[in-house]
């Protein structure tokens, strides 16, 4: 009897394993196929993926109800990748497999349009005459012949695409249909919001500098090895890493292999797509979370069906089912957005490494400020280190001025815009040049508090201060964790005093200040509040690039990846705020974002300048970022990591316990702690255990939280210990225990 082993899609962690079923003779299945099976005492219908088919004993086993068609199959490669995620992140197989497939796959939202097909593909007598069932039909014009030729080559085609490709009108197509030369058909179409970029695709020759050519040749040498390899492309801002990557993509596609190109966030997608689609046309697919479910599903179908050679997207695009994968590029590889905060809590680097192993392909990690972990691996020879030390062409790194904002306050300037920055902005305005202002805090004020009792206006669901935003009426308070909103209070909720004061500055306040200080400046604010629609990023960036605005003011989404020819000034407001975050990566993130945003200035023909405003002008991190000296920063940072035992010298496993009742949290935290310690005492692996400790955000979305931190060196035995903890407490009522391995926030 044929037996199929199945991983269920909806199994919780403590029962997530293979289940055996009889595979009836009427059904065929291979590894990765989707099956419908009976599960539990009630035999409820459940979906699962086939992991194995073999001959075996069928005693006591239930029969599989059905096997879905191949369009729902994970396939061998993605099935193995799901097992890899299950093993390394300790998620369930269902969580891993759902991450790899578009959310709309089970609703199958196929889109169809009116189209045409050629009536007699094999009956052409001459280029001007075809034979039909009702006699010969002449092709009287070049237009008719063009339509026939296109349909013979491409098969059936939707009407609008056929008109665009051949220049035919609807009336001409109707005439050909009336004669029986072509006939109507229902054509499956693909929703592609980036189709406009692919209209006039052409691969112009890319001229590389000597340094870029050397980098490209080193990448080609890695490709030629025919085995899984990785490179760290480390180049200063503006050094032309994109040109090197384009040449590498050309090379891989010319070899008949596919490419995945990852960007850290949606804000960078329009610029990247315009570059790559105009070069590679319809052989490009785009995947990111702001697409509609139908658009994501159609992109996934085009990739799966082999219509795509290049996939561009954010984190989830790493799972694209592209054929014969030869190269993966991770642009701005240092960004924390490449780590998932929801199950499966994977890091893109790890998934890339596995996919390269599966396909004997090459991985390029590119950044001007590589993560400490990646640069350490390059030093150890795990990655090939490729350097670009100078800007492309005649461009030079910007000159940087560091302003002590304490002196501004002493001089009576309470504005977030210092005097030097104000002068520099006016100079740019007079010369017709553009400026970028960076402030990594949205809203108007960071918080409100009562001057009488000192109480901060906080979110009732989270232990964080509400941020004040201007809006209609008196404005509103918003929680940036759970999204809770309330009107601006007129009195203190604790002591009822009406003496409410504001603290801190956000992008809305800076925008308001600029309207007073520089009323002639056209300011474009770009943050999470102004880019809620999927087209907002593209529209805003295009308008700034077209010089409809003088100043681009924004949060991190303006800090990296963008290339604006006319930007000659960058201003950084409150440059030191990210240094105070309770995280061992605080210095690394501060250095990275400052280096990246400073690098937006002077990338073209104009000389660049940057003004860094800070209350910590003596900070070594800020000083090194101002001089764009990554390697000096790395040397100091890696020694700190070594001394205090942080990654890359250990792995961190962070358990988070969440319960809605605060007293129950304390009791359960004690139980979890005792269980972890009992397992640790039996283990031979080195473990350093902290907790339970209160996380920086103690209450989140109505639930109180405790954390347990374990420093260790991950291996199969440590993962088994972590799995035991999850199994013990998984499925318990009114509580949640989650695990994040090497989290981006500790």
CB-facing half-sphere around the CA of 709: CA atoms within 13 A: 15
Flag residues of the chain having pLDDT under 70: 106-114, 119-140, 187-189, 193, 196-201, 267-270, 472-473, 534, 746
Beta-ladder partners of 651: 712
Sheet of 399-404: strands edge to edge?
399-404, 609-614, 567-572, 434-438, 551-554, 523-526
Tell me which long-range contacts 496-502 makes (C-beta under 8 A, separation of at least 24).
497/450, 497/451, 497/452, 497/453, 499/450, 499/451, 499/452, 500/448, 500/449, 500/450, 500/451, 500/457, 501/448, 501/449, 501/450, 501/451, 502/444, 502/445, 502/447, 502/448, 502/468
The angle, 0 to 180 degrees and rounded to 10, between the axes of the packed helices 269-280 and 536-545 is: 80
| Biggest distance spanned by C-alpha atoms of the chain | 96
d(CA 8, CA 353): 26
Burial category of 679 from C-beta neighbours within 10 Å (exposed 0-12, middle 13-18, buried 19 and up): middle
Alpha helices in 11-92 (DSSP H): 75-89
Whether 399-446+504-641 shares its CATH topology with 651-741 is answered no
Return the CATH fold of 651-741. Alpha-Beta Plaits (3.30.70)
- Under CATH, domain 2-106 is a member of which superfamily? PriA, 3(prime) DNA-binding domain (3.40.1440.60)
pLDDT at residue 648 in the model = 97
**What are the angstrom distances between the C-alpha of 287 and each of 301, 321, 333?**
11, 12, 18
Closest CA to 631 of 401, 455, 376: 376
Which class is 196-388 in CATH? alpha beta
Q: How many CB atoms lie within 10 A of CB 195?
A: 14
d(CA 594, CA 587): 11
CATH architecture observed for domain 399-446+504-641: 3-Layer(aba) Sandwich (3.40)
- Domain residue ranges of the chain, discontinuous segments joined by +: 2-106, 111-189, 196-388, 399-446+504-641, 651-741
d(CA 387, CA 251): 20
Sequence length of the chain is 746
Prediction pTM value:
0.88
Instruction: Let me know: does 735 contact 666? Beta carbons within 8 Å.
Output: no
């Amino acid at each position: 009897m044929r037996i199929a082993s199945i991983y269920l899609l909806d199994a919780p962690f403590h029962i997530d394993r293979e289940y055996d079923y009889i595979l009836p003779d009427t059904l065929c299945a291979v590894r990765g196929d989707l099956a419908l099976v009976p599960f539990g005492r009630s035999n409820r219908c459940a979906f699962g993926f086939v992991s194995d088919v073999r001959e075996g004993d069928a005693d006591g086993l239930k029969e599989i109800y059905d096997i879905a068609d191949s369009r729902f199959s994970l396939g061998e490669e993605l099935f193995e990748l799901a097992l890899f995620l299950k093993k390394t992140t300790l998620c369930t197989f269902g969580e891993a497999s759902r991450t790899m497939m578009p959310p709309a796959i089970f609703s199958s939202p196929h889109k169809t349009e009116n189209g045409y097909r050629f009536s007699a593909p094999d009956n052409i007598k001459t280029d001007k005459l075809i034979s039909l069932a009702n006699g010969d039909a002449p092709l009287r014009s070049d237009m008719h012949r063009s339509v026939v030729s296109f349909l013979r080559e491409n098969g059936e085609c939707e009407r609008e695409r056929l008109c665009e490709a051949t220049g035919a009108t609807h009336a001409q197509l109707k005439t050909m249909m009336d004669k029986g030369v072509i006939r109507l058909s229902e054509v499956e179409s693909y929703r592609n919001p980036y189709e406009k970029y692919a209209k006039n695709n052409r691969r112009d020759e890319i001229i590389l500098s000597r340094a870029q050519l050397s980098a490209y040749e080193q990448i080609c040498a890695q490709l030629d090895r025919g085995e899984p390899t990785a490179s760290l492309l480390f180049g200063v801002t503006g050094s032309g890493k994109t040109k090197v990557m384009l040449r590498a993509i050309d090379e891989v596609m010319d070899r008949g292999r596919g490419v995945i190109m990852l960007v850290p966030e949606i804000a960078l997608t329009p610029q990247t797509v315009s570059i790559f689609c105009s070069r590679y046309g319809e052989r490009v697919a785009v995947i990111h979370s702001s697409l509609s479910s139908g658009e994501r599903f159609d992109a996934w179908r085009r990739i799966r069906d082999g219509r795509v050679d290049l996939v561009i997207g954010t984190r989830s695009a790493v799972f694209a089912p592209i054929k014969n994968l030869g190269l993966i590029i991770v642009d701005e590889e240092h960004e924390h957005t490449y780590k998932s905060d929801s199950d499966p809590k994977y890091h893109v680097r790890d998934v890339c490494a596995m996919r390269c192993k599966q396909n004997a392909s090459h991985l390029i990690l590119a950044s001007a400020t590589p993560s400490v972990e990646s640069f350490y691996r390059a030093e150890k020879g795990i990655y090939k280190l490729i350097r670009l030390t100078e800007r492309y062409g005649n461009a030079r790194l910007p000159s940087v001025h560091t302003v002590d904002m304490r002196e501004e306050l002493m001089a009576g300037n309470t504005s977030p815009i210092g005097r030097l920055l104000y002068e520099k902005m006016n100079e740019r305005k007079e010369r017709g040049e553009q400026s970028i202002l960076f402030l990594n805090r949205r809203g108007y004020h960071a918080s409100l508090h009562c001057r009488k009792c000192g109480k901060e206006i906080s979110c009732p669901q989270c232990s964080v201060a509400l941020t004040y935003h201007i809006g209609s009426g008196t404005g509103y308070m918003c929680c940036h964790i759970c999204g809770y909103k309330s009107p601006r209070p007129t009195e203190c909720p604790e002591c009822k005093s009406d003496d409410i004061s504001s603290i801190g500055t956000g992008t809305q306040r800076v925008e308001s200040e600029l309207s007073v200080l520089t009323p002639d400046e056209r300011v474009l604010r770009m943050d999470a509040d102004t880019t809620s629609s999927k087209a907002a990023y593209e529209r805003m960036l295009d308008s700034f690039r077209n010089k409809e605005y003088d100043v681009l003011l924004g949060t991190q989404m303006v800090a990296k990846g963008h290339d604006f020819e006319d930007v000659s000034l960058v201003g950084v407001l409150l440059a030191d705020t990210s240094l105070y975050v309770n995280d061992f990566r605080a210095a690394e993130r501060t250095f990275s974002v400052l280096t990246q945003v400073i690098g937006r200035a002077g990338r073209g023909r104009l000389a660049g300048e940057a003004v860094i405003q800070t209350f910590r002008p003596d900070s070594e991190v800020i000083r090194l970022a101002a001089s764009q000296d990554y390697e000096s920063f790395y040397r100091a940072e890696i020694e700190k990591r070594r001394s205090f035992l942080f990654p890359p010298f250990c792995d961190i496993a962070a358990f988070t316990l969440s319960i809605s009742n605060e007293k129950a949290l304390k009791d359960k935290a004690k139980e979890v702690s005792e269980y972890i310690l009992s397992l640790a005492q039996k283990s031979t692996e080195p473990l350093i255990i902290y907790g339970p400790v209160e996380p920086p955000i103690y209450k989140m979305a109505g639930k109180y939280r405790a954390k347990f931190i374990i420093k260790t060196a991950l291996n199969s035995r440590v993962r088994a210990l972590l799995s035991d903890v999850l199994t013990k407490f998984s499925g318990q009522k009114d509580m949640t225990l989650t695990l994040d391995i090497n989290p981006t926030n500790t």
